[in-house]
Amino acid sequence: MTASACITTPIYYVNDRPHIGHAYTTTICDVWARAARAMGTDVFFLTGTDEHGVKVEKSAAQRGIPPQQLADENAAEFKRVLATFALTNDDFIRTTQPRHVTQVQEFLRRLVKSGAVYLGTFEGWYDEGQEEYHTENRARELGYKSPISGKPLVRATEQNYYFRLSAFADRLAAHYESHPDFVRPTERRNEMLGRMRDGLQDVPITRTNFSWGIPMPDAPGHVVYVWIDALLNYVTALGLAGGDASTEGRARYWPAHFHVVGKEILWFHAVIWPALLMALELPLPRCVYAHSFWIADGQKMSKSLGNFVDLPTIERYTGVYGLDAWRWYMATQGPIAATDADFNARHFHEAYTNDLVNTVGNCPSRVGAMIGKYCGGALPPDAEAGGHWPARCATAVERWEQCMGTFDLPGAARSAMDLLRQVDAMINETEPFKLAKDPANTARLHAILNQCAQAVRVAGVLLEPFLPGRCGDLADAFGGTRREDTPWRDRAVYGAIADGTTIRKLALFPRVEATAAAPKA
Ligand code: MSP
């Protein structure tokens, strides 16, 4: 891991209310940001709202309010979500903020000056809902219909400023070749390579048919295309073209470690964005990570079906199961890889019960109870010097670090869960409650309990980015040292609890009745 790292979510459209899609991307970034911070990395975690464009202009007009008012209202809603879910973003960028607007204009001036942006006439297949043009080949593949809304693509002609994307084809191909992890997962990388092989056409980057956007500098009537405006948020938030007091000192966070996005917006992030950065002579992000979609009970979530898991539904889940349980489900059962994941109440309940109640909750509770009963609540000494446990814990930590390095959050969670399951297995095999009946076994009993407690503590450290609420309690109950005081190397290591330390029994995750489990509307 590098000394500093930046992770970003897409910036969310303000013409939509927050739903599971937004909550998902932001939550998995939050897990990673917390993990990287725990490892001692200086993290910058960025999210925000995408506030310009014809869709926002239209929605505001329908409600009879100025677009800025619509943007203000919905940006506040997105911010409220961050606070409600205790997400640890370091900044929240809004594309209507002056700090963003002035830098976007500065970047565009640079692009015009270098010749990467020029004035020309364009004709193409336009997806009005997505505000996106498609090449002839791609439009044919799509049956001349929007892949998102299913509405027909329209043939459109415009005099516009263009970004010379075609000029970057070779450099992009070379970058993909020399950086196999630039786009992940691999299925998505292959998809991008396939589309790039169709050829890259220059992209119109201004519009003249609406006004709710950033004015193109020195070109009256032209407004910067919302996608170009939006992509630049990743560098305007760091003040790479000036910025203001809020962005000072942030240049060190570029290039981003991870841009985490949904698969539907990967082309912009994995092709247009790196080409723009090349044109601006800025380094490229280390990895663009595209997750898949949550679907609902086997069906695609869509506004027209009205089956989006929306904020009130999410809040019902967190009300019944707690915030940590929600994060756990998002991070371990979600569509992080190349396939979609089904969101359903039964599955949520099972994951909660199996992982959190029966394992993360039960194992420390058993260990704490036995130390209470047989050792008066004080950690007994271990005459066996840990046995296999120091190595097991080291392996778990190493696997966890590797998984975090590749954004494999379920894998990282598994390495901690495996450790707890091994503790459970040792208890079942060695039966401390039987050993306790004969004083001749005291040394062995003490060693086992010490080893269990030490391993539980390490597992707790590894689970903390996923379950920040309850793992704090776990750390406290197991005589833990908190992150603020202790460097990672000394925290994520076996044997950190001193003999005699008070170990408390604790109940982390209460059982929830299956009948209460489907928090429906
Ligand atoms: N404003 C653009 C992004 C610009 S970034 C420079 C945008 N915004 S959005 O509000 O539509 O948010 C899209 C993001 O929401 C996706 O990238 C994805 O992270 C998330 N999701 C939307 N629906 C989703 C699911 N059903 N499942 C999981 N995430 C999905 O696109």
Say how many Å lie between the CA of residue 10 and the centre of ligand 1: 7
Best residue among 29, 228, 261 to mutate for probing ligand 1's pocket (most ligand atoms within 8 Å of CB) is 261
- Please tell me the predicted confidence (pLDDT) of residue 371: 98
> Ligand 1 in contact with 261 (CB < 6 A)?
yes
Alpha carbons 231 and 272: distance in angstroms, whole number: 9
Bond from prior residue into 66 cis (ω within 30 degrees of 0): no
> How many angstroms separate the CA atoms of 162 and 133, rounded?
12
Q: How far is the CA of 124 from the centre of ligand 1 (A)?
A: 25
Q: Does 132 sit in the ligand 1 pocket, CB within 6 Å?
A: no
Which of 394, 400, 509, 386 is CA-nearest to residue 452?
Answer: 386
Cβ–ligand 1 distance for 11 under 6 Å, the answer yes
Tally Cβ neighbours within 10 Å of residue 273: 24
Q: What confidence score (pLDDT) does residue 520 get?
A: 54
Task: Give, using CA atoms, the residue closest to atom 22 of ligand 1.
Answer: 21
- Locate 2 and state its tokens: 């590098």
Atom 6 of ligand 1, residue of closest alpha carbon: 231
Q: Which two tokens mark 428?
A: 């079942």
Q: Which residues contact 18 (CB under 8 A, 6 or more apart)?
A: 12, 77, 78, 81, 310, 311
What is the predicted pLDDT for the residue at 521? Answer: 42
Answer yes or no: is the C-beta of 349 below 6 A from any ligand 1 atom.
Answer: no
| Distance (Å) from CA 24 to ligand 1 centroid | 9
Q: From the CA of 52, how far away is ligand 1's center (Å)?
A: 15
194: exposed, middle or buried (C-beta count within 10 Å: 0-12, 13-18, 19+)? exposed
- Hey, whose CA ends up nearest to atom 7 of ligand 1? 12
**Segments of the chain scoring below 70 in pLDDT:** 1, 480-485, 515-521
Q: How many CB atoms lie within 10 A of CB 22?
A: 22
* pLDDT score of 303: 78
Expressed in angstroms and rounded, the spacing between residue 266 Cα and the centre of ligand 1 is: 10
Strands (E), 297-358: 299-300, 341-343
For the stretch 113-143, pLDDT in tens is 999 999 998 788 999 888 788 988 999 999 9
**In 3D, which of 316, 304, 261, 318 has the Cα closest to residue 285?**
261
Residue with tokens 């670090």: 401
Q: Which one, of 14, 22, 28, 31, lies nearest residue 469 by Cα?
A: 31
The residue whose CA is least distant from atom 19 of ligand 1 is: 262
CA distances from 154 to 125, 133, 461, 469 (A): 5, 9, 54, 50
- Fold of domain 345-491: Isoleucyl-tRNA Synthetase; Domain 1 (1.10.730)
Tokens matching residue 372: 């209470």
Q: Please tell me the distance from the alpha carbon of residue 312 to that of residue 308, in angstroms, as a whole number.
A: 11
Q: Which residue, by CA, sits nearest to atom 21 of ligand 1?
A: 21
CA angle 80, 81, 87 (to 5 degrees): 110
CA of 103 to the centre of ligand 1 (A): 24
The Cα–Cα gap between 192 and 196 comes to 6
User: How much is the CA Rg of the chain, to the nearest whole Å?
Assistant: 26
